[in-house]
């Protein structure tokens, strides 16, 4: 009711949406209020009405879960009875606790927002473009869009993300598999089916550490079981025949233990020096001097502090607000449309969840003016208002992101997930530079084809480890 | 000033818009200024206190700097690493992070304080000058967005008087 009163107060010239169309929107909203996750531009999947999120390619997460569950199941069913009888009841208890911890950590790693940065609103993007234009040469755009800043007296280059239309904060990287910029990007892990970034790194670390303990524990117990059994039946072969499941567990554990222990060790080193896998592979800081600590501006130069900060630091909130409701059109003044959702809301009609772009915004204006067919007085005022506000972005960026979106589907066979557990990920990331090189092309506008060469080094941020 | 209608979490903008409506019937968005992040001390959340030129005629430099400095202090408090955050982290680890399902983290508590502070600043200082601060959390903590509203036509004189009354009320 209050809203109706306000509509009469508001000068219709000041709004791009007419009262009658606003009422339409109101009815629409009452029918089905939309949440922000429904128009999220990245390649993520959402479940439970936005509470749970996963990368679009869940990778081998089911395999990971399956392996863990099956191995533990076999352990509890076939090894524990014997061990409880001959040793102690604590074996299944410890095993059970480890199993629960591993599964919870895994699920938290997979389902938590890794620290996705929402894309820049059109106004922000326009403002950044203006700044770049004024500072660079005016005849043509400088190819690599980078900005140098000083962090703790060290020069760090910030790169411009063409998909998200902003300068990436330090330690942020764009994951092509998820099509999102992720803060403190570590890597995209196919085993957990999600990126590992600022918000879920501690869960990932707990997962691999507890999994190391679990696999070592099961491995040890199975060996003990077979040894004891072969003492009882006086023959190793017979012992194995009596308990074939143990052999299966042995094989699985033996092969996983190397990779998982190796990964745990590697990540312990990263945590202690406050590095990410991304930085380590690219050698961002090690080229400075021998010791990474002196080169890395984020390190606290103390192993304990680094560990505490990375693992026990404050938990930052999710920036993408998946469960928030899309703001109704009538609440937004004039043609500001600064909310990220509005252009996407219109763009959804294109059956494509694209990043907001000038094209989307202009489309939205067109859609709004369709609504204005109902209210003639509004039309003459609002349609000029649209281009007025967006005159800055209009000439600068072309409707590339929509083509970018369609090309993203082409990316998928190119950027196939690589095995996690190997330092050969370094090779893989170099590989990924080449196919990912093509990834640079969708984001910039078609007129910026000359910039693609400059963007190639930009793409090294996707270690598909 | 009418009491503000508290709307949904993302309705800060809507709330402030209602407020603006009461002051000026025909306010329209003229421009937006973006205060960028200051990364000189690392990745902690901190905004630049440089006074943007577009605001020179609209608001006093000291007021603006106070707002940004207070916000920076709030964010520093949220991200402070010390005894309490370690305790929270260790407790969370011990409960297999299930405790986050029922407990609000310190960061979230501080974010609520920040939202209230911004609302209060908008009410008292910025809205009377035709400005509106958007909570940085709604922009992914990248920028502080300040919207500049212009009056249209006849209410130009009222804007002058209201800004005067705003500054005296301060």
DSSP A398-440: -SHHHHHHHHHHHHHHHSPPPPSS-TTHHHHHHHHHHHHHHHH
Per the annotation, the verdict on A175 as an active-site residue is no
- The residue whose two tokens read 């040469």 is A137
Residue A136 has pLDDT above 80, yes or no: no
Q: A16: helix, coil or strand? A: coil
Q: What is the Cβ-side half-sphere exposure of residue A337, based on CA atoms within 13 angstroms?
A: 30
Burial of A262 (0-12, 13-18, 19+ CB in 10 A): middle
Check A315 against B111: CB less than 8 A apart. no
Check A297 against B107: CB less than 8 A apart. no
- Whole-model pTM: value is 0.67
Buried b (16+ CB within 10 A) or exposed e, A72-104: bebbbebbbebbeeeeeeebbeebeebbebbbb
Structure tokens at A27: 């009815």
Check B134 against A338: CB less than 8 A apart. yes
Closest CA of chain B from A214, distance in Å: 15
Q: Which ranges of A185-297 would DSSP assign to H, the alpha helix?
A: 201-233, 236-242, 244-272, 277-282, 292-295
The answer to whether A321 touches B10, Cβ cutoff 8 Å, is yes
Which positions 276-305 of A are in contact with B (Cβ < 8 Å)? Answer: 297-298
Mutation target vs A (from B7, B26, B33, B39; most A CBs, 10 A cutoff): B39
What is the rounded CA–CA span in Å between residue A56 and residue A75?
A: 33
For chain A, how are helix, strand and coil distributed in percent, rounded to 5? 60, 10, 30
Check B80 against A120: CB less than 8 A apart. no
Asked if the C-beta of A250 comes within 8 angstroms of chain B's C-beta atoms, the answer is no
Residue A1 CB neighbour total at 10 angstroms: 5
Enumerate the residues of chain B whose CB falls inside 8 A of the CB of residue A37: none
Which positions 92-131 of A are in contact with B (Cβ < 8 Å)? Answer: 100-101, 104-105, 108, 117-118, 120-121, 123-124, 127
- The residue whose two tokens read 């929270």 is B88
What is the rounded CA–CA span in Å between residue A77 and residue A71?
A: 10
Closest CA to B13 of A38, A365, A17, A333: A333
Closest CA of chain B from A193, distance in Å: 19
Q: A11: helix, coil or strand? A: coil
Residue A434 has pLDDT above 60, yes or no: no
Ranges A91-100, A225-234, A291-300: which has the least confidence: A291-300
Structure tokens at A161: 């993300």
In this complex, the residue of A127, A158, A312 whose CB is nearest that of residue B85 is A312
In this complex, the residue of B14, B32, B145 whose CB is nearest that of residue A331 is B14
In this complex, the residue of A297, A309, A335 whose CB is nearest that of residue B81 is A309
Mutation target vs A (from B11, B26, B43; most A CBs, 10 A cutoff): B43
CB pairs under 8 A between A and B: 155
- The residue whose two tokens read 């670390």 is A205
What is the rounded CA–CA span in Å between residue A437 and residue A415?
A: 11
Give residues with Cβ within 8 angstroms of A365, minimum separation 6.
A16, A335, A383, A386, A387, A390
What is the rounded CA–CA span in Å between residue A367 and residue A273?
A: 52
Question: Which tens digits make up the pLDDT trace of A19-73?
Answer: 444 455 454 445 677 777 777 777 777 777 777 777 777 778 889 999 999 999 9
Question: Which tens digits make up the pLDDT trace of A170-216?
Answer: 889 999 888 889 999 999 988 888 889 999 899 999 999 999 999 99
Structure tokens at A45: 């999947």
The answer to whether A97 touches A139, Cβ cutoff 8 Å, is no
Q: What is the DSSP string of B79-94?
A: T--SHHHHHHHHHHHH
pLDDT of residue A315: 82
Closest CA of chain B from A143, distance in Å: 23
Q: Which ranges of A40-165 would DSSP assign to H, the alpha helix?
A: 61-74, 80-86, 90-111, 122-135
Check A315 against B107: CB less than 8 A apart. yes
In whole angstroms, how far apart are CA A216 and each of A171, A213, A257, A283, B93?
Answer: 34, 5, 7, 32, 21
Question: Which tens digits make up the pLDDT trace of B79-92?
Answer: 888 788 888 888 88
Closest CA of chain B from A331, distance in Å: 5
Structure tokens at A32: 């089905």
List per-residue pLDDT tens for chain B, 170 residues long. Answer: 444 444 444 455 555 555 555 544 557 878 888 888 888 887 888 898 888 888 888 888 898 999 999 999 999 988 888 788 888 888 888 887 777 778 888 888 889 999 999 999 889 888 888 888 988 888 888 888 888 888 765 444 444 444 444 444 44
In this complex, the residue of B27, B37, B145 whose CB is nearest that of residue A169 is B37
Which positions 126-165 of A are in contact with B (Cβ < 8 Å)? Answer: 127, 149-152, 156, 158
The answer to whether A335 touches A18, Cβ cutoff 8 Å, is no
In this complex, the residue of A100, A169, A336 whose CB is nearest that of residue B43 is A169
Question: Which tens digits make up the pLDDT trace of A277-306?
Answer: 888 888 777 655 444 444 677 888 888 888
What is the rounded CA–CA span in Å between residue A310 and residue B81?
A: 10
Closest CA to A111 of A55, A52, A51: A52
Which positions 20-49 of A are in contact with B (Cβ < 8 Å)? Answer: none
Check B88 against A319: CB less than 8 A apart. no
The answer to whether A207 touches A197, Cβ cutoff 8 Å, is no
What is the DSSP secondary structure assignment for residue A77, as one 8-state letter? I
Q: B50: helix, coil or strand? A: coil
Does A142 or A308 have the greater pLDDT score? A308
- Could you say which of A72, A189, A405, A418 is catalytic? A189
Q: What is the Cβ-side half-sphere exposure of residue A23, based on CA atoms within 13 angstroms?
A: 11
Buried b (16+ CB within 10 A) or exposed e, A413-435: eebebbebbeeebeebbeebbeb
What is the DSSP secondary structure assignment for residue A231, as one 8-state letter? H
The answer to whether A285 touches A279, Cβ cutoff 8 Å, is yes
């Amino acid at each position: 009711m209050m809203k109706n009163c306000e509509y009469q107060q508001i000068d219709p010239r000041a709004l791009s949406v007419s009262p009658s169309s606003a009422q339409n929107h109101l009815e629409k909203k009452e029918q089905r209020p939309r949440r922000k996750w429904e128009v999220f531009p990245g390649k993520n999947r959402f479940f439970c009405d936005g509470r749970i999120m996963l990368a679009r390619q869940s990778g081998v997460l089911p395999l990971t879960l399956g392996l863990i569950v099956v191995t533990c199941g076999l352990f509890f069913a076939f090894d524990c009875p014997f061990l409880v009888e001959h040793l102690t009841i604590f074996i299944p208890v410890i095993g059970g606790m480890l199993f629960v911890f591993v599964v919870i950590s895994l699920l938290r790693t997979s389902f938590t927002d890794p620290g996705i940065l929402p894309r820049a609103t059109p106004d922000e993007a326009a403002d950044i473009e203006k700044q770049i234009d004024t500072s660079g040469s005016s005849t043509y755009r400088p190819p690599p869009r980078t900005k140098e800043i000083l962090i703790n007296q060290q020069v760090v280059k910030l790169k411009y993300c063409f998909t998200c239309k902003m300068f990436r904060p330090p330690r942020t990287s764009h994951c092509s598999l998820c099509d999102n910029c992720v803060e403190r990007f570590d890597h995209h892990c196919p085993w957990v089916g999600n990126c590992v970034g600022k918000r879920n790194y501690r869960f990932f670390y707990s997962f691999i550490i507890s999994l190391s303990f679990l696999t070592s524990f099961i491995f040890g117990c199975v060996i003990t079981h077979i040894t004891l059994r072969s003492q009882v039946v006086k023959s190793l072969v017979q012992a194995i025949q009596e308990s074939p499941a143990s052999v299966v567990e042995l094989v699985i554990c033996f092969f996983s233990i190397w990779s998982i222990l190796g990964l745990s060790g590697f990540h312990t080193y990263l945590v202690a020096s406050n590095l990410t896998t991304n930085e380590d592979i690219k050698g961002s800081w090690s080229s400075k001097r021998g010791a990474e600590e002196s080169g890395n501006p984020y390190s606290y130069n103390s192993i304990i502090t680094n560990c505490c900060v990375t693992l026990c630091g404050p938990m930052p909130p999710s920036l993408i607000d998946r469960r928030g409701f899309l703001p109704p059109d009538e609440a937004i003044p004039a043609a500001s449309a600064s909310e990220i959702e509005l252009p996407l809301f219109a763009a959804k009609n294109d059956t494509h969840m694209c990043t907001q772009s000038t094209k989307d915004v202009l489309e939205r204006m067109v859609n709004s003016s369709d609504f204005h067919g109902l209210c003639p007085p509004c039309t003459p005022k609002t349609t000029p208002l649209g281009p007025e506000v967006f005159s800055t972005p209009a000439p600068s960026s072309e409707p590339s992101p929509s083509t970018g979106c369609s090309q993203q589907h082409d990316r998928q066979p190119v950027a196939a997930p690589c095995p996690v557990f190997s330092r050969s990920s370094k090779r893989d990331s170099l590989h990924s530079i080449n196919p990912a090189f093509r990834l640079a092309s969708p984001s910039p506008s078609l007129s910026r084809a000359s910039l693609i060469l400059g963007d190639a080094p930009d793409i090294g941020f996707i270690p598909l480890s | 000033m009418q009491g503000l209608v508290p709307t949904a979490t993302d309705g800060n903008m809507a709330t402030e818009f209602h407020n603006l409506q009461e002051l000026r019937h025909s306010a329209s968005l003229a421009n937006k200024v973006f205060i960028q992040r200051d990364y000189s001390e690392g990745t902690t959340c901190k905004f630049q206190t440089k006074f943007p030129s577009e605001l020179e005629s609209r608001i006093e430099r000291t007021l603006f700097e106070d707002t940004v400095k207070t916000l920076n202090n709030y964010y520093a408090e949220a991200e402070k690493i010390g005894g309490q955050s370690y305790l929270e982290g260790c407790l969370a680890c011990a409960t297999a992070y299930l405790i986050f399902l029922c407990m609000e983290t310190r960061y979230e508590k501080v974010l609520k304080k920040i939202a209230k502070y911004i609302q209060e600043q908008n009410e008292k200082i910025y809205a009377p000058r035709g400005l509106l601060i958007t909570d940085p959390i709604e922009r992914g903590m990248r920028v502080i967005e300040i919207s500049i509203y212009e009056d249209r036509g006849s209410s130009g004189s009222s804007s002058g008087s209201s800004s005067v009354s705003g500054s005296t009320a301060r």
